Amino acid sequence: MSDVIEVERKRQLDDVAALQARLREAGYRPAGSSVETDTYYSRPDVDFLATVECLRVRQRDGFAEVTYKPASTTATHTAADVIAKPETNVILAGPEQAGAATALLDVLGMVRLCRVEKTRQTFRHPRHEAVTVVIDHITGVGAFAETEVMATDTDTAAILLGQVEQQLGLDGCPVVAAPYRDLVLHHHQVEAPV
């Protein structure tokens, strides 16, 4: 049995209301909203910013988890900025465990990079349960749409992702290749130049 991989692409949004209207017109179902706080880490001997690896502790509405995504390669991050990586997720016993997880990573010597605060609205495709569109508002950075397809076949998923973006008019929005972590770090550097 093949592993399921999340295939996704992120785009910058100028008009959130217009995308919400197109989602409704296309029959997408709202699947909830949440406020998430992600604390990102790197290793002292490996720069996760350079390798585009992800180690984070996420906390939201009664839920917490630790996630790891491996380094980006030409196989996992295409020239069209479609990202297809396996994720390792460890769901914690409760939201209060997020503090314990960050404390553990701190005492192990992991390097804390930043916190990303995000308000997320999730929409499910009317016919494909594996297709999700999320609208993220990143505190201090802006609004973004992520189209995500869960699949075992990356090529087929990438085609479906492109079709969904075209149907929703997202194909005209700028692609954002950088992770939210990097956008937040860049925003903080611009705010407080050295």
> For 117-133, how does the pLDDT look when each residue is reduced to its tens digit (9 = 90+)?
999 999 999 888 899 99
Token readout for 81 is 């900025």
Task: Report the distance separating Cα 55 and Cα 39, nearest Å.
Answer: 8
Among residues of the chain, what percentage have pLDDT more than 70? 97
For 87-115, what is each residue's pLDDT tens digit? 899 999 999 999 999 999 999 999 999 99
Listed by start position, the domains of the chain span: 5-191
How sure is the predictor about 153, in pLDDT bands with cuts at 50, 70 and 90? Answer: confident
Query: What's the mean per-residue pLDDT of the chain?
Result: 92
Give pLDDT, residue 191: 67
CATH class of 5-191: mainly beta
The amino acid present at 36, given as its one-letter code, is E
How sure is the predictor about 1, in pLDDT bands with cuts at 50, 70 and 90? Answer: very low
How sure is the predictor about 193, in pLDDT bands with cuts at 50, 70 and 90? Answer: low
Residue 192 has pLDDT above 70, yes or no: no
